[in-house]
Amino acid sequence: MSNMDPKAMPHKAGTTNPDWWRGAVIYQIYPRSYQDSNGDGIGDLPGIAQRLPYVASLGVDAIWISPFFTSPMKDFGYDVSDYCDVDPMFGTLADFDHLVQEAHRNGLKVMIDLVLSHTSDQHAWFQESATTRDNDKSDWYIWADPKPDGTPPNNWLSIFGGPAWTWNPAREQYYLHNFLKSQPDLNFHNGEVQDALLDVTRFWLDRGVDGFRLDTINFYFADKELRDNPPLPKDKRNDTIAPSVNPYNHQEHLYSKNQPENVKFLERFRALLDDYGARAAVGEVGDAQKGLEILGEYTSGDDRMHMCYAFEFLSKEPLTASRVVEVLNRLDDAAPDGWACWAFSNHDVMRHVSRWDLTPAATRAFITMMISLRGTLCLYQGEELGLHEADVAFEDLQDPYGIEFWPEFKGRDGCRTPMVWENSNLNGGFSDAKPWLPVSHEHLHHSVEAQEIDPAALLHHYRRALAFRKEHPVLMKGTHEGLSAEDDILSFTRKHKGTEMFCAINMSETPSTTDMPTGTWEPVGGELGSTGAGPDKKLHLGPWQPCFALKRN
Q: Does position 364 have pLDDT exceeding 70, yes or no?
A: yes
**Is omega for the bond preceding 407 within 30 degrees of 0, making it cis?**
yes
Q: What is the pLDDT of residue 2?
A: 43
Residue 180 DSSP class:
-
Task: Label residue 187 by pLDDT band (50, 70, 90).
Answer: very high
Q: What is the mean pLDDT of the chain?
A: 95
Q: Does position 239 have pLDDT exceeding 80, yes or no?
A: yes
Task: Label residue 4 by pLDDT band (50, 70, 90).
Answer: very low
**Rounded Cα distance, 261 and 220, in Å:** 9
Q: What is the pLDDT of residue 553?
A: 73
Q: What is the pLDDT of residue 242?
A: 86
Q: What is the DSSP string of 233-289?
A: -GGG--SSSS-TTSGGGGB--TTTS--TTHHHHHHHHHHHHHHHSS-EEEEE---TT
**Rounded Cα distance, 88 and 178, in Å:** 27
Q: Does position 14 have pLDDT exceeding 70, yes or no?
A: no
Task: Label residue 243 by pLDDT band (50, 70, 90).
Answer: confident
Segment 491-505, tens digit of pLDDT: 999 999 999 999 999
Q: CB atoms < 10 A from the CB of 221, how many?
A: 23
Phi-psi category of 258—alpha, beta or left, where left has phi over 0 and alpha has psi -120 to 50? left
**Rounded Cα distance, 329 and 350, in Å:** 26
Phi/psi for 374 (5° steps) reads -70, 125
User: Can you say whether the dihedral through the CA atoms of 194, 289, 318, 412 is positive or negative?
Assistant: positive
Q: Does position 276 have pLDDT exceeding 90, yes or no?
A: yes
Taking residues 191-202, report their average pLDDT. 98
Q: Does position 354 have pLDDT exceeding 60, yes or no?
A: yes
Segment 443-471, tens digit of pLDDT: 999 999 999 999 999 999 999 999 999 99
379: nearest Cα among 11, 31, 36, 62: 62
Domain ranges of the chain: 25-116+191-468, 479-551
> 10-14, 113-117, 474-478: lowest mean pLDDT where?
10-14
**Residue length, the chain?**
553
Q: What is the pLDDT of residue 521?
A: 96
Q: What is the pLDDT of residue 530?
A: 98
**Rounded Cα distance, 533 and 547, in Å:** 9
The upper half-sphere exposure of residue 379, i.e. CA atoms within 13 Å in the direction of its Cβ, equals 28
**Fold matches, 25-116+191-468 and 479-551:** no
Residues labelled as active-site residues = 215, 284
User: Can you say whether the dihedral through the CA atoms of 194, 198, 199, 201 is positive or negative?
Assistant: positive
Q: What is the pLDDT of residue 15?
A: 53
Contact status, residue 51 vs residue 34, Cβ threshold 8 Å: yes
Contact status, residue 49 vs residue 98, Cβ threshold 8 Å: yes
Contact status, residue 85 vs residue 4, Cβ threshold 8 Å: yes
Query: How far is residue 452 from each of residues 317, 368, 441, measured CA to CA in Å?
Result: 32, 20, 19
Q: Given strand 165-168, what is the order of strands in its sheet?
A: 143-144, 173-176, 165-168
pLDDT higher at 10 or 430: 430
Q: Does position 327 have pLDDT exceeding 50, yes or no?
A: yes
Q: For residue 526, which amino acid is it?
A: G
Contact status, residue 362 vs residue 544, Cβ threshold 8 Å: yes
Q: Does position 213 have pLDDT exceeding 70, yes or no?
A: yes
Global pTM? 0.96
Contact status, residue 33 vs residue 437, Cβ threshold 8 Å: yes
CATH number assigned to the domain with residue range 479-551, chosen from the 4 options 3.30.450.20, 3.40.50.300, 2.60.40.1180, 2.40.10.10: 2.60.40.1180
Task: Label residue 426 by pLDDT band (50, 70, 90).
Answer: confident
- The H-or-E segment that residue 376 falls in is strand 376-380
**Rounded Cα distance, 295 and 303, in Å:** 14
Share of the chain above pLDDT 90, in %: 94
> 240-244, 274-278, 349-353: lowest mean pLDDT where?
240-244
CATH number assigned to the domain with residue range 25-116+191-468, chosen from the 4 options 1.10.10.60, 3.10.20.30, 1.25.40.340, 3.20.20.80: 3.20.20.80
Q: Does position 6 have pLDDT exceeding 80, yes or no?
A: no
For 151-254, list the strands marked E by DSSP. 165-168, 173-176, 211-214
Q: What is the pLDDT of residue 5?
A: 40
Task: Label residue 13 by pLDDT band (50, 70, 90).
Answer: very low
> 14-23, 39-48, 90-99, 135-144: lowest mean pLDDT where?
14-23
69: nearest Cα among 215, 229, 268: 215
Q: Does position 205 have pLDDT exceeding 80, yes or no?
A: yes
